[in-house]
Amino acid sequence: MEYKIIAEKKLNHFIESTFLALGFSQEESSNAARVLVLSDLRGIESHGCARLHGYIRLVDAGKIKPKANPFVEREKFSTATLNADGGLGLHMGTKAMELAIEKAEKYGSGWVAVKNSSHFGVAVGHIMKALEKGMIAFSLTNASPLVAPAGGKERLLGTNPICYGFPAHNKSPFILDMATTVVANGKLEVAARKGVEIPLGYAQNKEGEPTTNPKILAEGGSMVPLGSDLEHSSYKGYGLGSVVDILTGVLSGANFGPWVPPFVPFLNQIEENVGEGIGHFVGVWQVEGFMDLPQFTARMDKWIERFAGSKPANGVDKVFIPGEKEYLLSLERQKNGIPIYHKVWENLVEIDQRFSLNILI
């Protein structure tokens, strides 16, 4: 059987128990489990429980500190810089968002730059609390340098995601959560696993030439920014990825660009530091600072209705709203369980055995 089905609750319990066994606090472990499970529910398997062993590897290596004590280094009403104390990004992204929400409730908006953190999982994992409160939310992180600038061949940027969420009334929220590259590197991993080529315009070799080889990253190649090539404005994807790097890394005091400490195992640890750990940036706008919330969510419903009902191009079934597919999938998986690829499952079973959890078997 290629996939094993697991119930959401059980997967959550297993991941939470793993983090507890690693020495994390109850709050850290709950946040970590929630963010990883959300990723699997929404169909972003590359960022879900398949990455659990990656976090364990970094904890074992002393690169992520359990029971860290994050503290505000600096603030000014609507803004703050949070030092994550070398702790777990999966938790710190959400702590930063809680602070941003508090600020927005007082000052209309709240913005928190985070330094000295580690991999924070899917960006959408940290905006949900704000959406539930009827706020507009924003979340960014920098990441392992795997991406060349437009027209370049050195790996200087991460896939640096941008996530925006807007609440609606009768509709599911509008959620855009996107890598600033054409595709995330997870897509290359999936193609390599299946032994198929990738389309031109996803990645390039170490000379900066287009390739269809899904294993090109291990050979010094790089991901390319959204736009694919200079003629199709890849400088825009590069520019957006750079904006993410600057807000999360330069402004927070974290490492940035090629100096971001890698999460992926095939990149060597970087020797020079230009800051502390990796960086995130989260923020919220309180809708009431601009407009009554019921008026805004009714307008969002109207927007969503018009776009969701728009005519598809020839050969396409339906126009989707950002986040709609992922939302529908998460409803289905909450009901019927989450499919786990057999190799990932074996890996989870090993983790279960290492910590004697007896949850999966």
Which residues within the stretch 182-201 sit at the binding site for a second copy (CB under 8 A)? 182-183, 199, 201
Exactly one of 14, 24, 55, 285 binds a second copy (CB under 8 A); that residue is 285
Least CB distance from residue 235 to a second copy, whole Å?
7
Exactly one of 18, 116, 248, 286 binds a second copy (CB under 8 A); that residue is 286
- Within positions 222 to 251, which residues make up the interface with a second copy, using CB under 8 A? 226-228, 230-233, 235-240, 242-243, 245-247, 250-251
Nearer to a second copy, 66 or 275 (CB): 275
Nearer to a second copy, 12 or 255 (CB): 255
Tell me which stretch binds a second copy (CB under 8 A): 22-30, 61-69, 91-99, 109-117.
109-117
Instruction: Report the amino acid identity of residue 144.
Output: S
Nearer to a second copy, 241 or 360 (CB): 241
Least CB distance from residue 40 to a second copy, whole Å?
21
DSSP per-residue codes, 78-125: TEEEEE-TT--HHHHHHHHHHHHHHHHHHHSEEEEEEEEE-----GGG
Residue 160 interacts with a second copy (CB under 8 A): yes or no: no
What stretch of H or E contains 135? strand 135-141
Cα-trace Rg, the chain: 20
- Within positions 335 to 354, which residues make up the interface with a second copy, using CB under 8 A? none
Instruction: Report the amino acid identity of residue 352.
Output: D
Nearer to a second copy, 9 or 318 (CB): 318
Nearer to a second copy, 24 or 262 (CB): 262
Q: For residues 6 and 301, give the distance between their C-alpha atoms in angstroms, rounded to a whole number.
A: 34
Tell me which stretch binds a second copy (CB under 8 A): 13-21, 60-68, 296-304, 328-336.
296-304
Q: For residues 83 and 316, give the distance between their C-alpha atoms in angstroms, rounded to a whole number.
A: 46
DSSP per-residue codes, 244-263: HHIIIIITTTS--GGGSPP-
Residue whose C-alpha is closest to residue 280's, from 109, 100, 57 = 100
Least CB distance from residue 12 to a second copy, whole Å?
28
- Within positions 24 to 83, which residues make up the interface with a second copy, using CB under 8 A? 74-81
Q: For residues 85 and 92, give the distance between their C-alpha atoms in angstroms, rounded to a whole number.
A: 10
- Within positions 129 to 148, which residues make up the interface with a second copy, using CB under 8 A? 136, 148
Which residue is listed with tokens 């590197």?
Answer: 185
Which residue is listed with tokens 């050979």?
Answer: 219
Least CB distance from residue 132 to a second copy, whole Å?
18
Pair type for strands 109-117 and 79-83: parallel
Residue 150 interacts with a second copy (CB under 8 A): yes or no: yes
- Within positions 254 to 273, which residues make up the interface with a second copy, using CB under 8 A? 256-258
The neighbouring-strand residues paired with 223 are 147, 203
- Could you tell me the strand order of the sheet in which 135-141 lies? 71-76, 79-83, 109-117, 278-286, 135-141, 162-166, 174-178
The neighbouring-strand residues paired with 79 are 76, 111
Size of site (CB under 8 A) for a second copy: 90
Instruction: Report the amino acid identity of residue 215.
Output: K
Nearer to a second copy, 307 or 355 (CB): 307
Residue 294 interacts with a second copy (CB under 8 A): yes or no: no
Which residue is listed with tokens 């919220």?
Answer: 284
Nearer to a second copy, 54 or 312 (CB): 312
Least CB distance from residue 29 to a second copy, whole Å?
29
Nearer to a second copy, 106 or 354 (CB): 106
